[in-house]
Amino acid sequence: MADPALPLGSDEVRLLFSPFAQARAVLLAVSGGPDSTALMHFAAAAARADPALPPLAVATVDHGLRPDSRAEAEAVARDARTLGLPHRLLSWEGPKPATRLQERARDARYGLLVGCARDTGATHIVTAHTLDDQAETVLFRLMRGSGPAGLAGMAACGARHGVVHLRPFLGVPKSRLVAACRANGWPFVADPANADPRFARARLRALMPALAAEGLDAPRLATLARRMGEAEAALASAAGRAIAEARVGPGLYSAPRLLGEPTAVRVRAFGRLIDDGSPSRLERLERLVEAVSAAADRGVPLRRTLAGVLVAFDGAARLSLAPAPPRRTPANLGS
pLDDT tens per residue, range 271-326: 999 985 555 578 899 999 999 999 999 999 999 999 899 999 999 999 999 998 88
Name the DSSP letter for residue 90: E
The residue among 146, 141, 106, 161 whose CA lies nearest residue 267 is 146
Q: Which residues contact 210 (CB under 8 A, 6 or more apart)?
A: none
Q: Torsion angle, CA of 237/252/290/297, rounded to 10 degrees?
A: -120
Share of the chain above pLDDT 70, in %: 96
**Per-residue pLDDT at 335:** 45
Q: Helices 131-143 and 218-246 meet at what angle, rounded to 10? A: 60
User: Homologous superfamily of 10-221 in CATH?
Assistant: HUPs (3.40.50.620)
If 0-12 CB within 10 Å is exposed, 13-18 middle and 19+ buried, where does residue 202 land?
middle
Output 331 or 146, whichever has higher pLDDT: 146
**Per-residue pLDDT at 100:** 86
pLDDT-derived band at 94, boundaries 50, 70, 90: confident
Please report, for the chain, the start and end positions of each structural domain, with discontinuous segments joined by +. Answer: 10-221, 250-323
Name the DSSP letter for residue 95: P
Average pLDDT value over all residues in the chain:
92
**Per-residue pLDDT at 278:** 54
Q: Mean pLDDT, to the nearest integer, of 10-36?
A: 96
- Residue 139: pLDDT above 90? yes
The 10s digit of each residue's pLDDT in 30-88 is: 999 999 999 999 999 999 999 999 999 999 999 988 888 999 999 999 999 999 999 99
pTM: 0.87
Q: Mean pLDDT, to the nearest integer, of 135-143?
A: 92
**Per-residue pLDDT at 328:** 67
